[in-house]
Amino acid sequence: MSSVRSTTAIIHDSGIAFGTSGARGLVEQFTDEVCAAFTVAFITAMRDSFPVERIALGMDRRPSSPAMAAACTSAAHTLGVKVNDYGVLPTPALALKAMADGIPCIMITGSHIPFNRNGIKFYRPDGEITKADETAILNAEAAMPTLPAPVRGEVSEAANQAYSERFTTWFPGEPLKGWRVGLYQHSAAGRDLNAHILSELGADVVVLGRSEAFVPVDTEAVSDEDQAQGSAWANQHQLQALFSTDGDGDRPLLGDETGTWQRGDIVGLLCARALGIEALAVPVSCNTAIEACGAFQLVERTRIGSPYVLDSMAKLSKRFTRVAGFEANGGFLLGSRLESDGRQLAALPTRDALLPALTLMVMAAQRGINLSQLIADLPARYTASDRLKDFATEKSHALLAEWQTSPELMQQTLGLQTGISAVNSTDGLRATLENGDIVHLRPSGNAPELRCYSESASQADASALVKQSLAALEKLN
C-alpha cells in the first residue's frame, strides 16, 4: 500500500519557491498535484486563523492558467470549500472583491515573466499573505486527499463590476472627457475592463496592440521596441495619454502625450502626493525624489517586494491616518480608507495599476495640462532599470557578497568612472557613487535574472549607467 504524501513533500519536490510576488516556477512544475498541494496547504494554513468555507479564484491569460485554476478548484472542493470563480481579471480586482466578502483568494498568474512560467498568488481575507504565511503554507504538512478530475465552475463578473465601481465612484462624472487615451491591451488580464472604465470616465479610448498570444510586459524594463511604439502611437493617434499594465494588472505602464513611458516610482510619487498621503513605505530601489520633494511626513525604505512594503505600511498605520506604499514597478498599495466630498475609497493593500494611472490622468485633465507637466516641479532625479536574463541566482549572490566587502572591485568590474562612497545591502547591493549617482544590483526573486537599477541627474546618464553595468556583467556570464 502506497503512503499518502504530504503537501510539504509535494511542494518541496516540485522545486517551486516563493519569490517577491507569490510562488513562481516553470509551467511543467505546476502539475495538477502541485497546484492542488499548494491549495490544500494554503487553506490549511488559513484555517489556523480564519473559518474558511469559501475562497475566490482568478487567473491571467497565460495558456497554462485555466488548467492550474481547475486543479486548485478541485483541491478546494475535496476540503469542502466552495469556490467563487471570477475567471480572467486583474489581481487587484480579485483581491478587492475577496476582501469585501471576507474570504481568502487565489490568483493564478506569473505577472510579467515569460509564458513558459507561471505562478500562484495567495490572499488572506484581510489582504496579501505575509512572509509568516508563506512559511506556514510551505510547512503545512497536510495529507493530500484523493483528487477528482480537475474542473472549474461557472464564472462570475461580480469582481470586475466591483472594481469598475470603485473608480467610477471615486472619480465622479466624466473627468476624462475630451481626452484620447491609447490603451495598449496586449494580453493583459484587465484589457477589456480597463477600456470600459476609461470610457465610463469619459475618455475616447483607442485600442492598441491587442494580442491573443501572451505578451510578458515588464513595467520595470520597458523594451526599446515598446519605447519606440509608444512614441509612434502617440503621434499617430494624437493621444493625451497611453496606458497599459503587466499581465495580471497590478503594475501600471503610463505614457504621456509624447508616448514616453513614465517610471513607475514617479507615477507612484505623484499619485501619493495627489491623494494627500502622510506616510509612505517604498522599496530601497525607488527614486530618492520621494524624500527630496518634501511632500510626506515620513518615508520608510524596505526590501523589494510587496510583503515588505505591507509590513512597513502596517506599522505606519499605527501612527498616521493616510498611509500608502508603492514599488519601482508602479504598483500602488493603499493602506488607508480615503474620503473626499462624501465619497470613499476603500483601502486596497495590494499592488494596483489603475489608481495611480487614473489619478494622474484625471489630475492633468482637471488642470488643463499635459501629463508631462505634472513632473515639472519634482527634483531632477532620474532612474532607469533593466535586467540580464539567464544569470544564475547563485552567481549573482556570490558576486554581490564579494563586492560588498570590496566596492573598489565593483567599480573596476563595472567600469564606473566615479568612486563608490557608500553601499547599502538592504536588498541586493545598492552603491552610491561620489557624484551622487546610484547603481543597484539585485537578483530577481522569481527567475534566474540579475536586475540593475540606476539613478542620476539626467535620464540619459541613468540609462547609460544601466547599459554599461549590464554589458560588463554579461561578460561574466
Kindly give the confidence (pLDDT) of every residue in the chain, 477 residues in length, as a single tens digit, with 9 standing for 90 and above. Answer: 346 789 999 999 999 988 777 899 999 999 999 999 999 999 999 999 999 999 999 999 999 999 999 999 999 999 999 999 999 999 999 999 999 999 999 999 988 888 899 999 999 999 999 889 999 999 998 989 888 888 898 999 999 999 999 999 999 999 999 999 999 999 999 999 999 999 999 999 999 999 998 888 888 778 888 889 999 999 999 999 999 999 999 999 999 999 999 989 999 999 999 999 999 999 998 999 999 999 999 999 999 888 899 999 999 999 999 999 999 889 999 999 999 999 999 999 999 999 999 999 999 999 999 999 998 888 889 888 888 999 999 999 999 999 999 999 999 999 998 999 999 999 999 999 999 999 999 998 667 899 999 999 998 999 999 999 999 999 998
Domains parsed from the chain with CATH numbers: 7-156 (3.40.120.10), 161-375 (3.40.120.10), 382-474 (3.30.310.50)
Alpha-carbon gap, residue 40 to 108, rounded angstroms: 15
pLDDT of residue 223: 81
For residue 2, the model assigns a pLDDT of 46
* Burial class (CB within 10 angstroms; exposed 0-12, middle 13-18, buried 19+) of 415: exposed
- d(CA 232, CA 354) in angstroms, rounded, equals 23
Give the model's pLDDT for residue 1: 33
DSSP assigned state of 421: E
Q: Count CB-CB contacts under 10 A for residue 371.
A: 26
Q: What is d(CA 323, CA 302) in angstroms, rounded to the nearest whole number?
A: 15
Instruction: Tell me the three cell numbers of residue 300.
Output: 520608510
Cell of 302: 524596505
The catalytic residues are: 111
Task: Reduce the DSSP state of residue 131 to 3 states and report it.
Answer: helix
430 within 8 A of 367, measured Cβ to Cβ: no
Q: How far apart are CA 109 and CA 118, in angstroms?
A: 6
What pLDDT shows up at residue 19? 79
Burial 333-357 (b: 16+ CB within 10 A, else e): bbbbebeeeeeebebbbbbbbbbbb
What CA–CA distance (Å, rounded) separates 465 from 451? Answer: 13
Kindly report the length of the chain.
477
Q: What is the sign, positive or negative, of the torsion defined by CA atoms of 55, 60, 66, 67?
A: negative
Neighbour-count burial of 66, counting CB atoms closer than 10 A to its CB (0-12 exposed, 13-18 middle, 19+ buried): middle
Burial class (CB in 10 A: 0-12, 13-18, 19+), 405: exposed
pTM: 0.89
- Asked if 310 and 325 touch (Cβ cutoff 8 Å), the reply is yes
- R_g over Cα of the chain: 22
Q: State the Cα–Cα distance between residues 416 and 420, nearest whole angstrom.
A: 9
Neighbours of 397 (CB within 10 A): 13
Q: What pairs with residue 345 in β-bridges?
A: 338
